[in-house]
Structures are given as C-alpha cells and as structure tokens.
Chain A
Amino acid sequence: MTETNSELVRLSAAALAAKLAAREVTAVEVVQAHLDRIAAVDGKVNAFLHVNAEQALAVAAEVDAIRAAGGAEAEALHELAGVPVAVKDLIVTIGQPTTAGSKILEGWHSPYDATVVERLRAAKMPILGKTNLDEFAMGSSTEHSAYGPTRNPWDLDRIPGGSGGGSAAAVAAFEAPLALGTDTGGSIRQPGAVTGTVGVKPTYGGVSRYGAIAMASSLDQIGPVTRTVLDSALLHQVIGGHDPRDSTSLPDPLEDLVAAARTGNVEGMRIGIIKELHGEGYQAGVENRFNEALELLKGAGAEIVEVSCPNFKYALGAYYLIMPSEASSNLAKFDGVRFGLRVLPEEGPMTIERVMGATRAAGFGDEVKRRIILGTYALSAGYYDAYYGSAQKVRTLIQRDFDAAFEQADVLISPTAPTTAFKLGEKLDDPLAMYLNDVATIPANMAGVPGLSLPGGLADEDGLPVGVQLLAPARQDARLYRVGAVLESLLEEQWGGPLLAKAPSLTDASSAAGAALSHGGSH
C-alpha cells in the first residue's frame, strides 16, 4: 500500500467528499485505496462476504468523468458522490450476491435493489461489497455467520459485536469509510461500541426497510455505521426519508441531520441518565468511561438528570418473544421452492413438506432454528396471549417509560453495551449470556425511538473500546447528532485525536495486535 493510500483510507467520509469536490483526489483512487486495504487486511478481519471491485470502480470512474466534464451535471453531483460504502449482507443488491449470512441463500442474487441501495446508487456512491453478519442478523457477535466469524480489529481474538460485526469491523479497520447496518435489538449500536465506531439506529420508519431481509419487522431498522458522528449524519441523510414501498415508512420530510451534526450544542440541554441502564452488571471500565462522558457534557453546559424507566427490566424478556415470533413467520419463505438452497430428503417419499423440511434443516444454523422454534411456540394457539400478547403489553409500558423520561430530559444516555468485546467462542454455548449483551440497546427498538452509539474511550482493564449510547424521542434523530457531535469533539480533544488512531494497524507484520491488546496493554 502506498503512503497516499493508507492516508486516504483513514480519512472520514466528510473529508474524502471535500477532497473529491476539490479534485485533490479522484474517486477511482479513493475506491482503489479501500480495495487495497480490503485486500491487505480482510484475510484477518473477515468483514466482507463479497467484494464488488469492478462495479465500485466503474461508479467511481463515472463520478470522475462527470467531475472532469464540469457543468450542470457536475454541480448536481451528490456531496458523497464517489465516497465508497459497504453494505450489510442482509440488504439486497442487484449484481452482487445476498446471503444474509446463511447457507440457505448461498449464491442467491436479488433481482431488485433495496430502497437504501437505490439511494446509494442515485448518490453515485460506489458499493465496495457486502459485509458479514450473524445469520439473518441473529446474534451479538457475528459468530453465527455461516461464513465464519468476523474479528474485532482491536483484537483479532475478540468478537466485533453483532449482528453487524462485518460493517463495524470494516469501518474500524479502515476498509470502508461508511457502511450500512441493520438494528433489531442493537445490531448497529453494540458492534459500534465494541469496535470504537459510530452507529445509529434511526427512528422506526425513518429509513425504508424495503429490501432489508426481515428478522423482526416491527423492530428492524437500517442505519449508518461510520467513524464519525458527522459521517453518520451524512449517510443517514442519503438513505432516510419516506418510501411508498414501505407502509411503515414515516411520511415526514427528513430533518437536516447534517446541519445538526455540524452545529452540535448541548448548552441548557437536559440529558437523562437511565437509572436502570448502568451500575450493576456493567463492566467497571465501561462505567468509568460513561461517567467521564457525563462530566464532559456537564462541562459543556448540559444539565444531567436521572430518570427511571422501571419497565426496562422486562424489555429483554419481551424482546425474546416478539422478535422470534415475527422471525418465525418472516423466515417461513425460505423453503427451497422459489429461490436459494434446495435439499432433497435422502430417503423416503419426495413430498413438498419433506423437501421444505430437509432444506430448512440443512440451510439454517442453530441460532436461527432456536429462534424459529421459540417464535412458533410463542404464537401457538393457547400460548399467544401469555407470550406474544403479554410481550406487546410490555412494549406499551416501555413506550410509556420513554414518554415519561422524555418529559424530564431532551435526550437519554447510557452505556451502549454492558461489556467490552468478549472473546470469540466465549458465549457461543450460552445464548442467555449472549442475549444480555443487548440489554441497553433493546428498549429503543421496542419503542421505535432513535439511538446513537459513539466511542467513549477504552476500558482500563482490557484497553478495549467502550460505547456511549444516546437516545432521543421518535422523529427527533437530529438531537442525537447535535449531542453526539459535541461529545465526540470533547472526547477527541481529551485523547488528542480519534479513538481509532489507537487501534492496531493490522498490516504491520510485527504488530500481533490481538496478543498485545489481550494482555491489557494501554494504547
């Protein structure tokens, strides 16, 4: 890799956009730099399931040609034109495979683009490829991918979070400046926390879900995965806004999120600590960084208040009824009849039921099967009221908790995840322990409110990234960017630069990054 290339990949999307607009660099150079970086490090990280080099370079060349020609067309180019982006492999794309991290979709090519992908293409953002995930986004570690786990760039022996570990790791490892994720219970924010990146789950309905393979329709939301708060706002602005193909898409025009990120200000703002989302069960290093963030915000003029959300303690339980219930139905279509894997029974009669059964037995992994069975049971006659029905009531209670909290505070704050990245394999045999990692992120999905996770520093005990989560009322995503931008700049001032500057290079032959970090070395 050339010096120029390694500098380019470390730039934020906003900085790349400025350099492209000023014609200091071409889009082809930018895309090539990222492709080179992927070639250099992805063997270790495994963030990408598919690299889309040819198409990405073609889009970049088109942008360069338009810029070179000048005139109205060049003027009309989107701010992010030529800035590359990676897409979580749960989101369908023409011209590239979409696997959802599952064997059941291996080799499947979608004949249509997701709405968010259409919008990336309309902005002429080159798509670098498709990123790894837990199968059908079911997991918190990316270990449930049928294509092998993604590794955390901070420590290759650790998980990058999940389900969107691929997108977070790609951004953290400078393989892409921007990526798309999906967040059903924390799949954007928790990977953001454990990889030292920024991730945003927009208000439910704020970004079209059309073309995102559904896990739990009432909880899923597509959002940006980036290294800076401003970059998230820029990407959010591209993908957000009403889509007539998604009935749950909000009709409201999108707020100016980029302006919010650029004019961050917390003076006089009431920021609420959620009593139930810190303290016991949270790693000491996580708690320490969280408290420091509060001090910084207070110093910048925010008023810190404490709010109580007593029903949040039921959120995880209710989530694990609603999510699998919806997933059991959403995943019924994967049956080998129309697309994807088809497995024939090895013996016995060749009936459609048996072909469907053999296909699903072979095509789905254990975690997916676990959730389908759980959801099928929860929706069964005689159990529906006790399980799905009760869980929906809890959902209403959580929404009321948020309503009450937002009367006392403009935004809420908590650690994003209770711990830093755990070791690969550590929780694989203990689903409940794995599920607990999402305890702080799930309430936002249950209520449909937006959440943002940004790096809060490194935990003292293991030197791994800690995430701070901001939550805002529904349709007030701009507040997240306003507060997030302030906190980010205060923290970076403290660290003397972006947190990711402290991450191992991954290309240095002697770095043995994983080993160094796992010994708790301070960076």
Chain B
Amino acid sequence: MTDATLSFEEAMEKYDPVLGFEVHVELNTKTKMFSSAPNVFGDEPNTNVNEVDLGLPGVLPVVNKTAIESSIKIGLALNCKIAETCRFARKNYFYPDTPKNFQTSQYDEPIAYDGYLDIELSDGTVFRVEIERAHMEEDAGKLTHMGGAAGRIQGADYSLVDYNRSGVPLVEIVTKPIEGAGSRAPELAKAYVAAVREIVKNLGVSDARMERGNVRCDANVSLRPHGRERFGIRSETKNVNSLRAVEHAVRYEIQRHAAVLDSGQPVIQETRHWHEDTRSTTSGRPKSDADDYRYFPEPDLVPVVASREWVEELRATLPEPPAARRKRLQADWGYSDLEFRDVVNAGVLDEIEETIAAGASATVARKWWMGEIVGRAKNADVDPGQLGVNPATIVELNRMVEAGKINNKMASEVLDGVLAGEGTPAEIVEARGLAVVSDDGPLLEAIDAALAAQPDVADKIRGGKVQAIGAIVGGVMKATRGQADAGRVRELILERLGVEG
C-alpha cells in the first residue's frame, strides 16, 4: 500500500518542516564496548563473541577506554561540552538481538552535550545545526528473518541471530530540533549526515562506511503550518543508510506528511522503514514518548571520569576540522571555487584525495571523478564512493592514456569493464583488443586516404593553417574506429604535409 503524497513544492507552500537526526556511529576500536572480543565486520556469524557478548550468566562489562577517547574526540569535533563524570544506564526491553535483554547505553548523563555543527550547503550558505548530545552505547546483534517475504519478520518461519555486532561501540549523535531549513531541508539533511560522516572519518574513530552500517541515520521529520510555533507530530525513519537516501527520505516524508495533514488526519507518531527501491517509507511500529524502558544506572559499571587534563590532551590530538581541510585541499589542488564546490557537492572529496595520494595529478583525479564516475553513480543511483572504483584503477587507466596505449574513449570503456567485474584495466584492454593503433603503416594509409578525400583542407594546412588539421584527424579516427592515437595521427599528418607543428 502506498501512501498519498503532495508534490514537494506544494508541501513547501503550505508547511514548514522541522527536522531532527539521530546518527549512530560505529567506532572502529579493536575490541568491543564492554568485552575483549574483536570488533570486526564481515566475519563468520557468531565468531567474534565471548561470554560477555552472549550475556551468559555471571558476566560483567568493562568499559573500553579507547571507545571513551573516541567519544570524547567526536564530542570535541562537534563543539560539545564534555562531561567530567557520566554514567551508563540500562535500557530494558526483551528482544533476541540484545543478549542481556537490556542495552547498556548512556541515558541522562551523556559524555558530550550542547554542541553545534556548521553545515555548508551547495550554494555556500552556512546553516548551523545544534547538537543536543553525543552518547555512548553498545550495538545489538543482527537478526535475519528466514522464510518470509523480503527478510521481514512478518510471515518469517524463523530468525537467525548473529552476535558479532553485539557490543560494538556506538556513539549516538542527537541534534536539537532543526527549524528554518524550509525547502532546503532535504539538502540540509544530506549535508548534515555527510558532515558527521566526514568528521568521524577524519578523526579516524570510525570506518564511516555507510553501506556497512558504520554510520546510520534515523531521520525525524515533522511539519507545521507556516507561522506556527508548536511542532507537528513527527515520524522517525530508521536506518537510512546512504547520503542520497537521507535526502530522499526527508523529501518523501515531507511530501507524505503534507498529504496526511491536508486530508485533515493527524500524523501518526511512529517509526518508518525506508525502501530504496520505491524511494518511499512504510509504517514501522508506533513510537510514543512514553515507551517504558525502565532505565536505571548500570550498577555493574563505575562512572566514567573525563579529567580536564585528559580532555585537553585529546583536544590537542584532533586533526584539522573538515572546513579548514577543504580550504587547504582547494589551495593544494588549484581548483577554482566553482570546480571545488562541484567536487564537494558531488561528495567525492575523499575519493579525489585518495586518488591523488595513489599517484594521479589533481587535474586528472578531478577529470575522472567528475567526468566519468559521478555520472555513472547517478545512473546507478548510488553514492560515487559506493560505485566500487579503486583509486589505483584510475591511476592505471591514466597511465595507459598518457603512455598512448589507449585513448580517453577507450579508457572510459575499460572503466565500464572494471565496474562490470571483468578484471583489471590491463586484462580488459587485452581481452577487448583495445589498443591504440601504433603501427604507422595502416595509419599512413588512412591519412593518405583522408588527405585525398579533403584536398582543400590539405592545402589549407600546407598553407600554414594548422588548426584546420582537426578535420583530417577526425577522418583518420573514423576510419580506424577510434583506435588510433590522435596525437600520433596529428604528428604524421604534419610530417606527411611537410609542415612544422
């Protein structure tokens, strides 16, 4: 069943959106939040667990000090205050992905609070998002529902649980209500999550890979008629796991809420599930502010004490903030303001940096990412970084072009081959027989034919109008089905006509 929606424009005419985000960041500590089991993604189910992660009788938690450090760093990068002492609490609820049937989480005493993040939108506008808190908690295990439709619990025959993720350290970053974004709300949503992702990646405290769930966003959306102070009823769209999806989910929820409100119905306070395929949400479970988790201070842990000295030591280790980094990178790379903003908006800043680090020039890296990859990502409807392009691939392709082995057109074809999993660039060049014709014999034949076909052009060149050479080069390229090295063709034409280039 699909919900009714208004057009985004109509929704914006009638209503003012208020947003709120809960972003969960998985920390990349060696071990888990409260146990010595490894914190590793992608291993065989239930191998990275010990008695603590399984919640066996008698076990006790011990706080991971590195996780505390990472949390403080995140708090500092979000301009938060750091609590001198704070406690963990137990959030009690029965669910089989939570082995103890309670989650150990900070509740009323977060480690970091009262911060902000300045978000730059695509046109350079800066929007300040207030951070309410960043608190520590443990991740739950992963349930896989078997036998039903599309992995849903409804109608499933049974469920499998993998506790590898159980106890992985999380920092949950909660914003204050974000007002005043207006029609830029979807864009702000994407930019905010991108900024948080950038910060945690930059800090080195998380692998920050959204496709692996290292950064997960719950997006709260409510609408109110223009001019009204009081917030509307919100929905919470859970686990929106790509930047594009964040933007789309917020846009969709605005349109859906608007339609509900227009019909005179109240919005239901509930969680929503995001579906990438239909770009829409469906109803989850009702969520009321009165959900009773019977929180109480975790008696098995002593308070976390963050001495001012320690906090200052950590502050001194913080890497340069992303805004300063962007300024530096633009200067280093020599991009114009427009070029640089396009790069940032396309979300390929890190990718370009990695490509340059792998050996490409700034110009080449931008040419490939902006010219080739961003478009493909758009067609595939994924973030460019998720397309699967390895910086080394770009460097190799560029090296082949510069060596004259293939031309740009072929390189683009080879990239398609790489993305289709056909092998390395070299293998694809070989397999597809893509090589610039470098034997001058066949080229000269083609050149002679082209010159003969366009004698007037040949005369112009002979007369010193070298810029007219394009028509002859074009003829040769056509005749060789693009396999010739255009540079070499040009040299040979000039040689043939006895003209100095």
Contacts and interface: CB of A to CB of B under 8 A. Distances in A.
Contacts of B95: 352
A91 B57 contact: no
Interface string B44-55: 000000010011
Given A329-B90, A333-B99, A339-B56, A247 B300 contact: yes
B299 A332 contact: no
A58 interface: no
Contacts of A325: 296
B101 A218 contact: no
Label chain B's interface by main secondary structure. loop
Contacts of A114: 58
B290 A381 contact: yes
Contacts of B63: 247
Interface stretch (A154-162, A207-215, A277-285): A207-215
A92 B159 CA distance: 29
A442 B163 CA distance: 38
Interface stretch (A1-9, A105-113, A471-479): A105-113
Contact of A335 (B58, B94, B302): B94
Contacts of B96: 335, 337, 352
A380 B54 contact: no
Given A247-B301, A353-B94, A213 B294 contact: no
A226 B299 CA distance: 29
A332 B94 contact: yes
A334 B51 CA distance: 14
Interface in A99-149: 100, 105, 108, 110-112, 114
A519 interface: no
A248 interface: yes
B62 A244 contact: yes
A338 B54 contact: yes
A246 interface: yes
A381 B101 contact: no
Contacts of A245: 60, 62
Given A329-B296, A381-B292, A209 B56 contact: no
Interface string A311-340: 000000000000001101100111101110
A214 B100 CA distance: 12
Given A379-B296, A381-B292, A338 B55 contact: yes
B57 A100 contact: yes
B57 A105 contact: yes
A384 interface: yes
Nearest to A91: B58
A443 B92 CA distance: 28
Nearest to A218: B299
A55 interface: no
Interface string B157-191: 00101000000000000000000000000000000
A492 B59 CA distance: 41
Nearest to A246: B60
Nearest to B54: A338
Given A333-B100, A379-B294, A98 B60 contact: no
A247 B61 contact: yes
B333 interface: no
Contacts of B100: 332-333
Given A329-B92, A333-B101, A380 B51 contact: no
Interface in B277-299: 290, 292, 294-296, 299
Given A218-B299, A247-B301, A379-B92, A333 B57 contact: yes
A245 B90 CA distance: 19
A329 B90 CA distance: 8
A400 to B, nearest CB: 20
A329 B294 contact: yes
Nearest to A219: B299
Contacts of B116: none
Interface in B84-113: 90, 92, 94-96, 99-102
A376 interface: yes
A332 B92 contact: yes
A245 B55 CA distance: 14
Contacts of A481: none
B51 A111 contact: yes
Interface in A209-253: 209-214, 216-218, 244-248
Nearest to B96: A337
B299 A326 contact: yes
Contact of A381 (B54, B94, B294): B294
Interface in B300-341: 300-302
A249 B501 CA distance: 84
Contacts of A381: 290, 292, 294
Contacts of A352: 95-96, 159
A356 interface: yes
A214 B301 CA distance: 13
Given A247-B301, A248-B302, A379-B294, A110 B56 contact: yes
A183 to B, nearest CB: 16
Nearest to B101: A332
Given A329-B92, A353-B94, A214 B292 contact: no
A263 to B, nearest CB: 34
A388 interface: yes
A217 B300 contact: yes
Contacts of B57: 92, 98, 100, 105, 108, 110, 213, 333-334, 339
B132 to A, nearest CB: 21
B394 to A, nearest CB: 47
Residue of A112, A334, A337, A376 contacting most chain B CB atoms (<10 Å): A337
Given A91-B58, A212-B58, A333-B101, A112 B51 contact: yes
14 contacts: A110-B56, A210-B58, A213-B57, A247-B61, A247-B300, A247-B302, A248-B60, A325-B296, A329-B296, A335-B96, A337-B96, A380-B294, A381-B290, A384-B295
Given A100-B57, A352-B95, 5 more contacts: A92-B56, A111-B51, A214-B60, A216-B299, A384-B294
A-B pairs with the 10 shortest C-beta distances? A332-B101, A217-B299, A379-B294, A218-B299, A211-B58, A213-B57, A92-B58, A381-B292, A333-B55, A217-B300
